[in-house]
Structure 1
Amino acid sequence: MDPILAFVSIVAAIAVGAASPGPSFVLVARTSIAVSRRAGLATALGMGIGGVCFASLALLGLHTLLSHVGWLYAALKLAGGAYLLYLAFRIWRGASEALVVDGDSRTAPAGSIARPLLFGLLTQLRNPKTALVYGSIFAALMPADPPFWLFASLPPAIFLIEAGWYAIVAAAFSAGSPRGAYLRSKHWIDRAAAAAIGVLGARLVADAVPPP
């Protein structure tokens, strides 16, 4: 695959995954509603830093392993594709469930950003599924012999995706009208995200299974 096309494909796939609702989404939404927009943005920054950590580990691990173990390429595609299909099923099944935003209404002082930033970082790092998703996407879309610029550009791009998306969530859920609009359309938004993740998972599984 052409490196530029690979970069665009990886970024697009990760953006779809980041936008799918999950624990991180609920954390940022809750912080923005219960504390402040500033605290929500700090949490989004922590999410972005955590994403860079996982992406860097996935890139380093895959580069080493795939350069020495050829069969692992197909195995990662199969495992990653199966997980993404499972994730799509979970999101689709939960599309009709109400978004629950609860917990302590004072998770951080209104003027402090250190605590919500650390909370966002730890929440991201405690979710090993993030590393699995990154690994499966890299395994599926990374060229066999990627140039150095591709390795160097992916972590900052992932930071912008993760932190940028959750910053949008923080801004939206710290205001009244956008929050209500999402809650009214949650069913369709969640199912659209599930469909996109399911297509990617099916593609990974199909690529991993050799033709008869």
Structure 2
Amino acid sequence: MNLVDSNLALIAAVTILAVISPGPDFAIIVRNGLRFGRKMGLATALGIAGGVVVHTTYVLLGLSYVVAEYAWVLEAVRYAGAGYLLWLGASAFFPQKSDTQAESCDDVVSVSFGGAFRNGFLCNALNPKTMLFFIALFTQVVSPETSLALKLGIGAFISLTHLVWFAFIVFVLTGQRTQKLVAQWREGVEKVVGVCLFGLGAKLALDA
């Protein structure tokens, strides 16, 4: 196995481990999947994948240097991301706009497709840990000699991995068997996820 193949294997392994690790993206997928149903959950997954495209783009454009050299940029993103997570967490305790209780998860729709997409997009794009992950990945594993096509391919792979994994989570959450299990505890589960999001936001804001 040559150096390029070794690096690609390492990137694939690191990406998969990073994606499946619980974090803000996972929490927002659980929240939207349970609260708004399969369609909006998939929209959220698509938004997360879109956030990954943003990270790939600024790294390829060289803007990662700005993030690395000017600490205030990362700090600004950190506080913006923390504020957004705090708001998402608190929103779990807001009453839903739906006037009727639906038996099926797919019938509960109180957010637009664009709104669900925006939830996932901002959750990922404003996560400073994701920013640092991309900077480290592209500076430590991808060499300056790596072709632009290969870099774009790596970015596409990372984005697609996020989309596939979180779409899978959505389908599991909104399956009939899962819905039957969580139906009577859905409101409680949503509040637990809300507390987790709020906690992640608070931790992000307080981290030195």
Q: What TM bracket, shorter-length normalisation?
A: 0.5 to 0.7
After superposition, the C-alpha distances for 1:172-212 in whole angstroms (9 at most, x for unaligned) are 122365687xxxxxxxxxxxxxxxxxxxxxxxxxxxxxxxx
User: Size of the alignment, in residue pairs?
Assistant: 147
Alignment of 1:21-170 (within 5 A): 21-61=22-62, 102-104=92-94, 106=96, 109=109, 112-170=112-170
Instruction: Output the TM-score relative to the length of structure 1.
Output: 0.59
Match of 1:11 in 2: 12
| Alpha-carbon distance between aligned partners in 2 of 1:110 and 1:130, rounded to the nearest angstrom | 29
Match of 2:200 in 1: none
Structure 2: runs of 5+ lacking an equivalent: 69-90, 98-107, 182-208
Note if 1:20 corresponds to 2:25.
no
In the TM superposition, what is the alpha-carbon distance from 1:8 to its structure 2 partner?
A: 2.8
Match of 2:3 in 1: 2
After superposition, the C-alpha distances for 1:65-110 in whole angstroms (9 at most, x for unaligned) are 9xxxxxx9xxxxxxxxxxxxxxxxxxxxxxxxxxxx9444748835
| Alpha-carbon distance between aligned partners in 2 of 1:6 and 1:104, rounded to the nearest angstrom | 46
Instruction: For residue 142 of structure 1, give the secondary structure of its aligned residue in structure 2.
Output: coil
Instruction: For residue 146 of structure 2, give the secondary structure of its aligned residue in structure 1.
Output: coil
Identify the range of structure 1 (106-115 vs 12-21) with the bigger mean alpha-carbon deviation: 106-115
Contact 1:47/1:120 (CA < 8 Å) preserved in 2? Answer: yes
Instruction: Output the TM-score relative to the length of structure 2.
Output: 0.60
From the superposition, tell whether residues 153 and 60 of structure 1 become closer, same or farther in structure 2 (CA, over 3 Å): same
Contact 1:55/1:131 (CA < 8 Å) preserved in 2? Answer: no
Contact 2:37/2:109 (CA < 8 Å) preserved in 1? Answer: no
Contact 1:35/1:106 (CA < 8 Å) preserved in 2? Answer: no
Structure 1: runs of 5+ lacking an equivalent: 66-71, 73-100, 181-212
After superposition, the C-alpha distances for 1:15-46 in whole angstroms (9 at most, x for unaligned) are 21011001111110111111101110100000
| Alpha-carbon distance between aligned partners in 1 of 2:3 and 2:132, rounded to the nearest angstrom | 24
In the TM superposition, what is the alpha-carbon distance from 1:145 to its structure 2 partner?
A: 1.7
For the aligned residue pairs, the C-alpha RMSD in angstroms reads: 3.1
In the TM superposition, what is the alpha-carbon distance from 1:126 to its structure 2 partner?
A: 1.5
User: What percent identity do the matched residue pairs reach?
Assistant: 25
In the TM superposition, what is the alpha-carbon distance from 1:160 to its structure 2 partner?
A: 0.3
From the superposition, tell whether residues 105 and 140 of structure 1 become closer, same or farther in structure 2 (CA, over 3 Å): farther
Contact 1:7/1:150 (CA < 8 Å) preserved in 2? Answer: no
Contact 1:3/1:143 (CA < 8 Å) preserved in 2? Answer: no
| Alpha-carbon distance between aligned partners in 2 of 1:143 and 1:106, rounded to the nearest angstrom | 49
Instruction: For residue 61 of structure 1, give the secondary structure of its aligned residue in structure 2.
Output: coil
| Alpha-carbon distance between aligned partners in 2 of 1:145 and 1:64, rounded to the nearest angstrom | 17
Contact 1:2/1:143 (CA < 8 Å) preserved in 2? Answer: no
Identify the range of structure 1 (110-119 vs 43-52) with the bigger mean alpha-carbon deviation: 110-119
